[in-house]
Amino acid sequence: MSSTSPTIDRASGSPFDDVTASEASLRRFLHGLPGVDQVGAEARAAALGTRSIKTTAKAHALDLAIRMVDLTTLEGQDTPGKVRALAAKAMRPDPADPTCPQVAAVCVYGDMVATVKEVLGSSGVHVAAVATAFPSGRAAMDVKLADTRDAVAAGADEIDMVIDRGAFLSGRYLQVFDEIVAVRQACARADGSSAHLKVIFETGELQTYDNVRRASWLAMMAGADFIKTSTGKVQPAATLPVTLVMVEAVRDFREQAGQMVGVKPAGGIRTAKDAIKYLVMVNEVAGPDWLTPEWFRFGASTLLNDLLMQRTKMTTGRYSGPDYFTLD
Give 19 or 34, the one with higher predicted confidence: 34
pLDDT tens digits along 253-311: 999 999 999 999 999 999 999 999 999 999 999 999 999 999 999 999 899 999 999 99
147, 264, 274, 277: the active-site residue = 264
The yes-or-no answer on residue 228 being catalytic is yes
70, 147, 157, 160: the active-site residue = 160
pLDDT tens digits along 64-118: 999 999 999 999 999 999 999 999 999 999 999 999 999 999 999 999 999 999 9
Q: 35-324 in CATH: which number? A: 3.20.20.70
Three-class secondary structure assignment of the chain = CCCCCCCCCCCCCCCCHHHHCCHHHHHHHHCCCCCCCHHHHHHHHHHHCCCCCCHHHHHHHHHHHHHCEEEECCCCCCCHHHHHHHHHHHHCCCCCCCCCCCCCEEEEEHHHHHHHHHHHCCCCCEEEEEECCCCCCCCCHHHHHHHHHHHHHCCCCEEEEECCHHHHHCCCHHHHHHHHHHHHHHCECCCCCECEEEEECCHHHCCCHHHHHHHHHHHHHHCCCEEECCCCCCCCCCCHHHHHHHHHHHHHHHHHHCCCCEEECECCCCCHHHHHHHHHHHHHHCCHHHCCCCCECEEECCHHHHHHHHHHHHHHCCCCCHHHCCCC
As a whole number, the mean pLDDT across the chain is 91
The yes-or-no answer on residue 273 being catalytic is no
Kindly state the average pLDDT of the residues 121-149.
97
The yes-or-no answer on residue 264 being catalytic is yes
147, 228, 274, 306: the active-site residue = 228
Domain boundaries, the chain: 35-324
Kindly state the average pLDDT of the residues 134-139.
95
